[in-house]
Amino acid sequence: MTRGFRKSWRNFALALAWFYVLLWPLLGIRDGELHFDKSFTVWLRVAAVATACFILYRLGRRGVFNPVLEPAGRLRDAVADRLHRAPRWMLLAPLLLFALAYPLVTNRYAQDVAINVLVYICLGLGLNVVVGLCGLLDLGYIAFYGVGAYTYALLSVHYAIPFWVCLPICALFAAMAGCIIGYPTLRMRGDYLAIVTLGFGEIVRLVLNNWMALTGGPNGILGIKPPGIYLPHFAGGSLSFEYLALRKLEYLYYIILLLAVGTIIAVHRINFSRVGRAFEAIREDETAAELMGVNTFRYKLLAYALGAIFGGLAGAFFAARMRFVSPESFTFIESAMVLSMVVLGGMGSIPGVILGALALVALPEMFRQFELYRMLAFGGAMALMMVVRPAGLWPAARLGKRSDDAG
């Protein structure tokens, strides 16, 4: 019973008491009465979990778990080493096979969740180019998703242009939006940039919400066509093409899988290219990068446009899948969610972002009864992650110290 031990327990008890004081007014004062039962139940649960975590933490600090943790750590290192040495296709081929076979063995609901995960993987990877590789904190990323979605929606409804033709157009429009937003903002420093991108994201949403003539305002746009393909059709000796609208969920799954795999390959190639190195140089130390001959402004703009392209593609798919778009899908919370995927998974790491998307989209589906607490857990996890494990679940291989690190 050292003094430090007693002090840490005292602080812990104080923190719990503090928490109760903060919790009670929100739950306890209602209908002209003072209640204590509900707030106490909630508090008791939180306190029990916190105490358990705290005891485990204290025990871990004293080395009680070392006999278990050390062999486990060695095992993990050995496995990681093996995996590292195995050829990459041996790992990726089963994964890809699983992804391809997925709709054959699962029901509609599972496919729906999988489509969501894949959309968020596309978004997360796009944002990863901006935040993870280039180190520019973008809080308005969902705007590009919105630009992509509305571009396809408008082209499809007014001009009946097919999905596949629209994809590059959406990407182009999103990239243009990225440049327009990026040009005035990219001279700012990290946290100013964050708040300005947030402002731009909100401006885009407000314009979508208020420009009744073009976007239909809060009512959104209905009647967007699903993606289609032309199947060759032989009839009476002559070749004709038959239009087939890909409405079924399996088809949509394969389309987004194609987009996601394309995004993964593209981001991987960017990551390990000359451009990717320039991005990382900017992230690590902008001044040094500039001195080494990297045109930082141009590369930052490029990072922004590239990130926007992936967002735009995912947006086009989103519109085609829902066949309806409205500004409600492009709120700040969506931006925060994509960002927390990137952060949770590990900034700059492709498997990390995929893991993050799985964790934030698929996990809540498993805990459906706690649906209400989803965003609460998001926020908490984001803050906790920064305190406990700032590099993320699956940190990127190359991650140095940033130039503006304190100390």
Partner 1 sequence: MDYFLQQCINGLTLGGVYALVALGYTMVYGIIALINFAHGEIFAGGGYMGVILLSYLASKGLMDAHPWFGLAFALILAMGYCAMLAMAVEKVAYRPLRRSSRLSVLLSALGMSIFLQNGYMLTQGVYDKAYPTAFTQGGFNLGDVRVSFMQVGILAVTTGLLILLNLLVYRTRIGKAMRATAQDKIMSALVGINADKVISITFAIGACLAAAAGILVGLYYGSVRYDMGFVPGIKAFAAAVLGGIGNITGAMIGGFLIGMVEILAAAYIPHGGEYKDVFAFVILIGVLYFMPTGIMGENVDDTRV
Residues of this chain that bind partner 1 (CB under 8 A)? 18-19, 21-23, 25-27, 29-32, 34, 135, 137, 139, 184-185, 187-188, 190-192, 194-196, 198-200, 202-203, 206-207, 210, 332-333, 336, 339-340, 343, 372-373, 375-376, 378-387, 390, 401-402, 404-407
Which residue number, 170 or 344, has a Cβ lying nearer to partner 1? 344
Please say which residue, 250 or 284, places its beta carbon nearer to partner 1: 284
Q: What's the rounded Cα separation, in Å, for the pair 264 and 32?
A: 57
CB 394 → partner 1: shortest distance, Å?
17
Q: Which is nearer to partner 1, 169 or 359 (CB)?
A: 359
Shortest approach of partner 1 to residue 189 CB, angstroms?
9
* Smallest gap from residue 69 Cβ to partner 1 (A): 23
> Of 87 and 407, which CB lies nearer to partner 1 in the complex structure?
407
**Rounded Cα–Cα distance for residues 154 and 315 (Å):** 13
Pick 52 or 386: Cβ nearer partner 1: 386
- Taking the complex as a whole, how short is the minimal distance between the CB of residue 198 and partner 1, in angstroms? 7
Q: Are 149 and 287 in contact (CB under 8 A)?
A: no
8 A C-beta contact, residue 230 and residue 243: yes
Cα diameter, the chain: 93
Taking the least distance from each CB to partner 1, the nearer of 46 and 161 is 46
- Please state, in angstroms and rounded to a whole number, the distance separating the CA atoms of residues 10 and 145: 49
Q: Which is nearer to partner 1, 179 or 229 (CB)?
A: 179
The whole-angstrom separation of Cα 312 and Cα 166 is 11
The residue (of 252 and 347) whose beta carbon lies closer to partner 1 is: 347
Give the tokens for residue 310: 């992936």
Rounded distance, CA 324 to CA 242, Å? Answer: 25
Distances (CA, A) of 249 to 104, 121, 163, 280, 386: 11, 18, 16, 38, 37
Measured between alpha carbons, how far is 238 from 230 in angstroms, rounded to an integer?
A: 15
Q: How far is the CB of 300 from partner 1 (least distance, A)?
A: 15
Q: Which residue in 286, 298, 335, 398 sits closest to 126, CA to CA?
A: 335
* Token pair recorded at residue 293: 């001959």
Question: From the CB of 380, what's the least distance to partner 1, in Å?
Answer: 5
User: Cα separation of 181 and 130, whole Å?
Assistant: 13
Q: What is the DSSP letter of 370?
A: G
Q: Take residue 99 and report the two structure tokens written for it.
A: 């992804």
* Nearer to partner 1 (CB atom), residue 31 or residue 239: 31
- For the bound state, the minimum distance from the C-beta of residue 19 to partner 1, rounded and expressed in Å, comes to 7
* Ordered DSSP codes for 291-326: HTT--HHHHHHHHHHHHHHHHHHHHHHHHHHHSEE-
Min separation Cβ 219 and partner 1, Å: 15
Nearer to partner 1, 297 or 332 (CB): 332
**Residue 64 has which token pair?**
């009680």
> What's the gap between Cα 284 and its chain centre?
22
The distance of closest approach from Cβ of residue 336 to partner 1 in the complex, given in angstroms and rounded to an integer, is 6
Please, which residue, 162 or 199, has the CB nearer to partner 1? 199
Under a CB-based contact definition with an 8 Å cutoff, are residues 146 and 204 in contact?
yes
The span from the first CA to the last CA of the chain, in angstroms, equals: 34
Inter-CA distances, 362 with 46, 185, 251, Å: 24, 34, 20
What is the closest distance, in whole angstroms, from the C-beta atom of residue 248 to partner 1 in the complex?
A: 35
**Beta-bridge mates of residue 228:** 245
Please report how close the Cβ of residue 274 comes to partner 1 at its closest, in angstroms. Answer: 25
What tokens appear for 297 in the block?
């402004």
